[in-house]
Amino acid sequence: MNSDNSACFGDCPKPKKSKTSEKEDCSVSFWAHLPSIVIHDIFDLLDKTDRQNASSVCKNWRQNVFHPKWWPGVTFKIEPCNIDKAKFFTSVFGKIVSYAKIKVNTLTPECTDEFIALVEALSENNNLKELMIEPTHCHFDMSRYYSRSSYNIVNVIATLKRCLPNLIKFSIGCIEDFAHYLDEYLLILSNKQAEKITVLGLASVKDNPNEYEDSYFECDLIKPFTNLKVLSIDFDQLSDNFLRCLDDSKELERLIVHLHGVRDGHPGTSDAAWKDFKETHPKCELRLTVIHSYEEIGALHETVLKGQMPLTHLKVFFCENVNMGMLEFLSAYYAETLRSIMWVDSLSNSKQSWSFLTSHYDNSPDPLIMISWLCKNLEELVFYGYKYCEENLIAIARLRGDKLKRFEIAEDDVLFSNCDYHLSHENFLI
């Protein structure tokens, strides 16, 4: 019986294709070979998620989903763990994206290679309107590329400059290597559509704060950018003359200044110039960031800060000291404008880390409490690296209430009232 069944099955002719099956094949073939313009019209009717799902129908649909109008802004993440994905993004989006943000590890060779490849692709992209760089470090390690002429920093800068003509937003990402060519960037940007540019990120972070090359440009180069809203510069650039050159930038909303040190012969600024600046730019915020400024931090309120500055944000990073006089200056002169203070140093048990308790023993009012009381717009307070009493933290919280959106201090730095910290600190001072 089994043999009979086997014989019948083996002798059975192949079934004919049904007409329904033929219609289904034709239907699939039809959808797979739609003209691009029809696929684009279909994709236009879908949201982003549905469009991506629809693009999996076939290779033809997949290729058509990569159209500039559906990918106006792309964040390129170039990290050692995702180089293959970064290469894919470069090949697919590098020449079509309008708004590009690049997050890159600048000290890894393969990431540097891919960054250069991406900049080369962007330099051939006529759609590019925005280029913002966000590096992991303040410089590129180009030493391993010196034998390859196409990868030296001068050629990288030359490629970067080809990206600039059509931009309306541009930031060098605080990369020190890029900050030495600011005048060249500004000349290129001003030649075509200076009046359309709204964001210029020209500030830098120095790899060696004790020894670095000044990076500044002729003040007049900033004049053509009359619609600037956000501008970042190094303190080397700041002067009364520079502030006057911003007079035509009536839309300026934010001026960010990075300070590492004050070079010999720096003219500084005057209260008169800042007063005029505020009258010309009534809505502009000044944000000062102080980085590794070991020498200047002790006298910053005497040499850099001016009472007429429209200071809203102060950030101090790793200056290895806290300036009590400067904190007192903040509450005295910026009660109407100050919104944020970030003062960050390494956690330690050094003498400097007890500075707030020293002021307590001097019977002078705690400067952070005074700031919390007098600065009516304060909404962010971050302090790391300095011992602070629990009762003062509670006082600040009560003074600001829900107006204080962010309040951070390291747990290890909090001196709780039920512990004998005061006695140990007295012994420490002896």
Instruction: Provide the 8-state DSSP code for 296.
Output: G
CA–CA separation, 414 and 234 (whole Å): 34
Query: Where along the chain do its domains lie?
Result: 38-67, 336-430
Task: Give the number of other CB atoms < 10 A from CB of residue 413.
Answer: 17
Instruction: Name the strand (E) or helix (H) holding 202.
Output: none
Confidence check: pLDDT of 356 > 90:
no
Q: Is 410's pLDDT higher than 70? A: yes
Handedness of CA 104, 105, 106, 112 (dihedral sign): negative
Runs of H (alpha helix) within 259-304:
271-280, 300-303
pLDDT at 180: 92
379-397 pLDDT, tens per residue? 999 999 988 899 999 999 9
**C-beta separation of 176 from 139 below 8 A:** yes
User: In terms of Cα–Cα distance, which of 362, 420, 356 is closest to 388?
Assistant: 356
Q: Which band of pLDDT confidence, cut at 50, 70 and 90, is reported for residue 353? A: confident
- Looking at residues 45-53, what average pLDDT do you find? 71
pLDDT digits (tens, 9 = 90+) for 109-163: 899 999 999 999 999 999 999 999 999 998 887 666 544 545 678 889 999 999 9
> pTM value?
0.84
| Alpha carbons 29 and 50: distance in angstroms, whole number | 21
54 has pLDDT over 80: no
Residue 182: Cβ-neighbour burial (10 angstroms; 0-12, 13-18, 19+): buried
Which residue, among 303, 269, 305, 293, has the nearest Cα to 343 in the 3D structure? 293
pLDDT of residue 373: 96
- Percent of the chain at pLDDT above 90? 61
| pLDDT above 70 coverage of the chain, percent | 80
**Residue partners of 377: CB distance under 8 A and separation at least 6:** 312, 336, 337, 338, 339
| 385 vs 279: CA distance, rounded Å | 38
Q: In the predicted model, is pLDDT for residue 308 greater than 50?
A: yes
